[in-house]
Structure 1
């Protein structure tokens, strides 16, 4: 009983420490792996001596294997196949050519700088060719870069993990069996990848068919069916050919994703929670098992080897793998900088250290220490600076311009025209043929389809747009469309026209900004625009009288005479939010309701030369500042 309690205590401490690290990382908006590594090292035998992972024995290997299977399956499940198609060439190169470059470059760095033997050097390099979804995923959630870069990093992290793990096993077998021929090495790698792909692909397809037809099963039970099936495929593939199971889990996740299950969101949520738990426990246990003395004993040469991997090998790999892509230099620099190592490197290195020691081969502890040094340096240096680098390179999603507008009636076309006039990309989506025809006549790109179709949104270019707004005449539909777009594509700005007291907007965790004003009748303003009873006005808020300007602006809005549409701030166009926080020097583009007929406008000489011509709205902009009261001389 005492032995079982000790193991239970170790697991509980690891869970508590891991979840605490996740919470702190979430609050501080810092990659949680930073705190997982710190907590693991602090709780390990070199410092507080609380955690002793070696007490788990072979159970640690089992825990690592099953947890990594969950992590990679979840990674495959989260891959957006439509987006991968846009970067497929670069992704293929990173997983193949990039792996080879990292293997050769990392091996040379470890041999010449860290002074490892050639065999151990290449074993180290095979362990660090991976990046890993456990680090990349949380990092990209906190550092919102443009979708093309994010998709490439996510795809590389998921697909290169099984490749790297299998490559490491092949290299290890070559070291142990010195008479292995080069063809055997390559054949072993390809055969493992092939077996895993077939088992995972077929198993994932059958699993998808079963889930679609299993109407009587509850959502919770379906999630557990997927978990059991995934582990079953992992073990089956491992049984057929050793170390092919990881590829099977990735392939199964990708195929299940492609099956378009109705329960996909719930499944992703469940697997995401399991992944967080697995990553938390594994990193704590593996970091606790690390000897600080062994890391220090590596010397300066090892630091230089890791630096060469980060600053030379990775940029060279990215350069050659993206040479014919449409990525710009800013995106390539960011890709070169971001390659943090994760749980696969740590777990496989820990297992290899044990295997090498058992076989009487020197270097097991050293290679584990060097891999963890690589993880620490890449996670701390790249993870903590990713946001700053992305902002400096101006590839954050907040820099994206343009808009996808759902609703092709008069108001939608007017907003689209204003974006076009400013030189920004814009796309309209509507199911009404007449509205689409009018948009096309105004040279506005338009899709006659439903915005609920993710393929349509992708084709409209939502991944590269800065704004998504739904402004059909149905507020409930607008809210649903905006929430779906935000959940699936995460545009920087998501807005919708919906009633202020909408219960769905208050209860849903996916918050959507209310566009324009709290209570907007799109039908009314569409009619004003259709009948020509409007003028486009521009208001510039000035610091001295901004309070008076805002008060007058709000009075006109409440009276129904004025509708602010767009604010130009820091040379960027933004859709006005209902709760907009106005700032000095804001340029506000508004519609002013002008009930005079077109004929009266012509007679009065107030006819606009262009539908999109902006007038200076002097009624608000030129509000005089009240003179300061002066105190007569001699008055007390």
Structure 2
């Protein structure tokens, strides 16, 4: 009973330490492996002595195998095939030629600098050819480099893991069976890759078919069906040929991800959570099992081995693998610097150390120590400097990005698009309504007739290089879904939407990564009607330090009265953004706004014109600076209550706001 409780306590401590490391890393925006390594070594026998992973026995190997399977499946699931097509040549070279270069370069460095025998040196090199997706993905989440570089790093991390693990097994087999010929080793590698890929492809297709056709299975149970199916494919491949299960999990994840499942988002979230848990527990246990003394015993030669791998072998590999790729020197330099090793290297090295020790071959503990030294140096040096390097190379995603993709071709969205155009920024409208798209084309606005959920349409609109995504259809629920999808898929710097109206008036100003556009509870249909009937004036005001509080209070009063709608804010010379409802205006801001003015409608009626005549914004007026206090003179047709509310704060001025030309007046 005491023994079982001790094992239970070991797992509880590992889970608590792992999740704590994830939380701290999330708060500090650094790769989680940094704290996972620190916590594991601190809690291990060489630290506080709380964790003793060896007490788990064979259970540790089981945990490692099943967790790595989940990690690789989730990596395959998240691989975007449409993005891989853009970098397929470079990625193919990295997984093939790059693996060979790292194997040869790392082996020679370990032999000549680390003074390892050739067999052990190449075993080390085979273990570090992989770049871990469990380190790359969180790193890119925080750094957010441009999409092409991110796709190469993510694709390399996922695809090279099974290749590297299988290569390491082949090298280990060669060491354990010294009489094996090179041809036998190559055949063994090919068989493992082929068997794993075949089982993964067939099993992934079958899983996708079951999830689509089996309507009686609930959404929650479907996630568990995928988990069970994935482990089943892993076990089947392992039974047929050892170490082929890793390739099976990656390929099955890619096939399931390409199956266009209706529950794909829930599946990704579930697998992502399992991956975080698996990585957290594994790194804590494996780093706790590491002997710190064995790392110091390696000497300076091993340190130089890792530095040569980072500063020599990796840049040569990137240079040769991306020779004709079209990548610029900044992108190649960033790829040369970022190659952190992760959980697959650590787990396979730990298992190999056990196997070598059991067979009486020296070097198992040294190999494990050298692999962990490589992990620590690549993670700490590359992971912690990645953000700075990306900024220095100007590779941050949407670095200085401008322009906007707007969903909806209603009058208000077309007006905003025209304002962006007048500024000289790119803008693209997307709508499913042919008539609305035709009106946008008449105003010389770029428009795509498609759904805002269509990823290809968003790519065609250039959202991966735009600064703003705005969903402002007349359906608030649809806007929320569209904006969330755009934030997850493209991660533009600014994602805004006109949220659904809450009957109780408690509309949120943010939903996850999405901000509410313009003002809370925007009556978009009302403002579209104002624009269509020419009942608006377009103005611009500068908020200045003297009297700033007065100006802000005036703005808020007009907004509350429903007479003013802030559209855009200019900060400095380069910042030109949609006004979010959460925006805190500052002195120096210039606000472009719409002001409701019902007088044109009255003039139309007095002159006998149709009340439904539309305001044609054929040419926007040049927006000049107008003090916001001028707007009361345009409130003559407002309700008595609105005029009184405004009059309490501001006095009328003789200056007029700008008025767009109206057709037919």
Whether the TM-score (by the shorter chain) exceeds 0.5 is yes
Cα separation, 1, equivalents of 2:586 and 2:151: 35
Give the drift of 1:168.
1.1
Query: What's the counterpart of residue 564 of structure 2?
Result: 562
Query: What's the counterpart of residue 351 of structure 2?
Result: 351
Q: Which of 578, 583, 602 is the aligned partner of 1:580?
A: 583
Give the drift of 1:594.
5.3
- 1:435 matches 2:407: no
Query: What's the counterpart of residue 475 of structure 1?
Result: 476
Query: What's the counterpart of residue 51 of structure 1?
Result: 51
Give the drift of 1:199.
0.2
Contact 2:353/2:364, CA 8 A, preserved across alignment: yes
Give the drift of 1:41.
0.8
Contact 1:298/1:370, CA 8 A, preserved across alignment: yes
Query: What's the counterpart of residue 625 of structure 2?
Result: 616
Contact 2:509/2:515, CA 8 A, preserved across alignment: no
Tell me, what secondary structure is at the counterpart of 1:397? coil
Listed one character per residue, the Cα deviations across residues 106-140 of structure 1 (whole Å, up to 9, x for unaligned) are 22322232222222222111111111121122222
Listed one character per residue, the Cα deviations across residues 64-116 of structure 1 (whole Å, up to 9, x for unaligned) are 11110111111111222222223222222222222222222222322232222
Mapping 1:141-540, distance limit 5 Å: 141-397=141-397, 399=399, 400-499=401-500, 501=502, 506=508, 510=512, 512-540=514-542
Contact 2:432/2:450, CA 8 A, preserved across alignment: yes
Check 1:447–1:196 CA distance in 2 against 1; reply closer, same or farther (3 A cut).
Answer: same
Query: What's the counterpart of residue 544 of structure 1?
Result: 546
Give the drift of 1:276.
1.7
Listed one character per residue, the Cα deviations across residues 239-296 of structure 1 (whole Å, up to 9, x for unaligned) are 1112111000011111111112222222222222221221111111111111111100
Contact 1:41/1:288, CA 8 A, preserved across alignment: yes
Gaps of 5+ in 2: 605-615, 632-651, 654-665
Give the drift of 1:498.
2.8
Cα separation, 1, equivalents of 2:385 and 2:503: 40
Tell me, what secondary structure is at the counterpart of 1:18? helix
Contact 1:31/1:139, CA 8 A, preserved across alignment: yes
Contact 1:129/1:164, CA 8 A, preserved across alignment: yes
Give the drift of 1:593.
4.4
Query: What's the counterpart of residue 628 of structure 1?
Result: none
Contact 1:538/1:616, CA 8 A, preserved across alignment: yes
Aligned CA RMSD, in angstroms, stands at 2.8
Check 1:335–1:498 CA distance in 2 against 1; reply closer, same or farther (3 A cut).
Answer: same
Contact 1:114/1:305, CA 8 A, preserved across alignment: yes
Check 1:500–1:581 CA distance in 2 against 1; reply closer, same or farther (3 A cut).
Answer: farther
Check 1:618–1:217 CA distance in 2 against 1; reply closer, same or farther (3 A cut).
Answer: closer
Check 1:331–1:424 CA distance in 2 against 1; reply closer, same or farther (3 A cut).
Answer: farther
Contact 1:487/1:510, CA 8 A, preserved across alignment: no
Single out whichever of 275-284 and 397-406 deviates more from structure 2.
Answer: 397-406
Query: What's the counterpart of residue 6 of structure 1?
Result: 6
Cα separation, 2, equivalents of 1:502 and 1:134: 44
Cα separation, 2, equivalents of 1:421 and 1:97: 49
Tell me, what secondary structure is at the counterpart of 2:130? coil
Check 1:312–1:534 CA distance in 2 against 1; reply closer, same or farther (3 A cut).
Answer: farther
Give the drift of 1:205.
0.6
Give the drift of 1:233.
0.7
Check 1:105–1:442 CA distance in 2 against 1; reply closer, same or farther (3 A cut).
Answer: farther
Cα separation, 1, equivalents of 2:617 and 2:212: 58
Check 1:609–1:542 CA distance in 2 against 1; reply closer, same or farther (3 A cut).
Answer: farther
Listed one character per residue, the Cα deviations across residues 290-340 of structure 1 (whole Å, up to 9, x for unaligned) are 111110011122222212222222222223323333433333333222211
Tell me, what secondary structure is at the counterpart of 2:85? helix
Query: What's the counterpart of residue 604 of structure 1?
Result: none
Mapping 1:87-106, distance limit 5 Å: 87-106=87-106
Cα separation, 1, equivalents of 2:509 and 2:522: 21
Tell me, what secondary structure is at the counterpart of 2:469? strand
Cα separation, 1, equivalents of 2:520 and 2:222: 41
Q: What's the TM-score, normalizing by structure 1?
A: 0.90
Check 1:60–1:582 CA distance in 2 against 1; reply closer, same or farther (3 A cut).
Answer: same
Q: What's the TM-score, normalizing by structure 2?
A: 0.86
Tell me, what secondary structure is at the counterpart of 1:615? coil
Gaps of 5+ in 1: 602-606, 625-636
Give the drift of 1:527.
3.8
Check 1:166–1:587 CA distance in 2 against 1; reply closer, same or farther (3 A cut).
Answer: same
Query: Number of residues paired by the alignment?
Result: 619
Cα separation, 1, equivalents of 2:198 and 2:533: 63
Cα separation, 1, equivalents of 2:156 and 2:526: 50
Check 1:220–1:422 CA distance in 2 against 1; reply closer, same or farther (3 A cut).
Answer: same
Tell me, what secondary structure is at the counterpart of 1:616? coil
